[in-house]
Structure 1
Amino acid sequence: MSARIPPLADLGMWQAVIAAAVGRCQCRGACGKSHAKDGDRCGREHGGYQQRHGGGTVRLLAAPADPANMLLPPHRAAALPRQALAAWCPTCHDSALAAARKAARAAAPPAPDALFDL
């Protein structure tokens, strides 16, 4: 953990989540990938190098473990306990968030057509 760069906000919470994840993304398929090559868990590690999606250094983030909770407003997501958080690489996080948004839109009732409601 010597060369790893922590985030600017709530360092203690972030360190606890990353330590619990042993510095590795905890996605197990919520992003839409099976991660079968990595033992059914994303293989990206904090501070490691990602060869795809633009390359560069992987910076894990602490976000809700349940992708549905990623849709919470920021002030409610920030109030979640450490046990409700997981380490996510940016690629898995973005994909899981997109899937959660798509599922929420599909589950929402259709909006009435206000143009013709009289």
Structure 2
Amino acid sequence: MTHRPPLGASAAWQAVMEAADYQCQCEGGLCGSKHPKTGLRCFRTTGHVRLIVAPADLTLSPVAAAAVPTEQLRAWCADCHTKAQKRQLANQRELERQQADEPLSLF
């Protein structure tokens, strides 16, 4: 099977895909699915869908994400990427809310 890289950053994409065996690296509930039918890892491959490359930490800004070394990137299908990013951002907001200073008491 031929795996066609995207137009930009094709060397990084190729390195990540080879390390991931051309399969989405979402596993263990990162996106909300435990992927139980496939050994806890998403079943999607480049033969089924176009995979993207993104950091494991999906809360990074686009500038910070662009600076992540290739070794710290992972392969994502669009569905897992979107769901995992929403979950990570929600977790980050909740953590920030919990760490916010308590308002001063009026009494």
Please state which band the TM-score falls in when normalised by the shorter chain.
Answer: 0.7 to 0.9
Measure, in 1, the Cα distance between the counterparts of 2:55 and 2:19: 14
The normalised TM-score by structure 1 is 0.77
Q: CA RMSD in A?
A: 1.9
Q: Which amino acid aligns with 1:61?
A: I
1:69-80 alignment runs, 5 A limit = 69-80=57-68
User: Could you list the runs of 5+ residues in structure 2 that have no partner in the other structure?
Assistant: 103-107
1:10-48 superposed Cα distances (whole Å, 9 cap, x missing partner): 100001001110110011020011111001100001131
The normalised TM-score by structure 2 is 0.84
Aligned position for 1:103: 91
Aligned position for 1:64: 55
What is the deviation of 1:111? 9.1
User: Could you list the runs of 5+ residues in structure 1 that have no partner in the other structure?
Assistant: 49-57, 113-118
For these two proteins, the number of residue pairs brought into alignment is: 100
> Structure 1 stretches (4+) deviating beyond 6 angstroms?
none
1:63-88 superposed Cα distances (whole Å, 9 cap, x missing partner): 112xxx21211121111111211100
Q: Equivalent pairs: percent with the same residue?
A: 43
Counterpart of 2:43 in 1: which secondary structure? coil
